Amino acid sequence: MRGILRLAGLWAALALAPALGADFSGVVTRVTDGDTLWVRPAAGGRPREVRLQGLDAPEICQAHGPRARAALAARLQGRRVQVRIRARDDYGRWLSRVATPDDPDVGAWMVVQGHAWSYRFRDSRGPYAALEDRARQARRGLWAQAAPLEPREFRRRHGSCGGAGQPGTRPNR
């Protein structure tokens, strides 16, 4: 029995391994919020859910959430993008860097425009900390608010947004 389980684990690892290293290009078919989008691969198949790596945008039911989604949609909806896959998150989304022919890092653009925070982890301020500082100093986007609440803190206090856009309900994923 242990041999079968070990073989099943190996099979699952082999099946996932090429996908993690397999960058792809495709067209953005939908933008869920300020850091999540769906990309239909140019090679065909169903759209894949992609989360921009290195940033955290406001929840859709949070202040500035709809504006962050609108900014990302205006930038990418219907456009061809290059997706550089880095990992999978807890929701099964591909954590990725996304680029367009005229923008090598869409995540950096979201942060410097004030639509997202640089993703903090432990003692690190994240990969876009300097860009966040620029947006904050310029009072761009969400930084025009008196005291914007980080999405992580918003979720801790209110839960994730649900399908109805209300705090405290499960995410519609």
List the catalytic residue out of 51, 69, 97, 155: 51
Annotated catalytic residue 93? yes
CB atoms within 10 A of CB 144: 12
Instruction: Choose, from 69, 75, 93, 155, the residue flagged as catalytic.
Output: 93
125 is catalytic: no
Each as own residue / partner, the long-range contacts of residues 14-18 (CB below 8 Å, 24 or more positions apart, any chain) are: none
Three-state secondary structure call for residue 163? coil
Q: How far is CA 115 from CA 47, 96, 99, 100, 126, in A?
A: 24, 18, 17, 18, 15
* HSE toward the beta carbon, residue 57, CA cutoff 13 A: 33
- Verify whether residue 59 is a known catalytic residue: yes
User: Which residue carries 């029995």 as its tokens?
Assistant: 1
Residue with tokens 């519609």: 172
Pick the catalytic residue from 48, 59, 132, 155.
Answer: 59
Residues marked as catalytic: 51, 59, 93
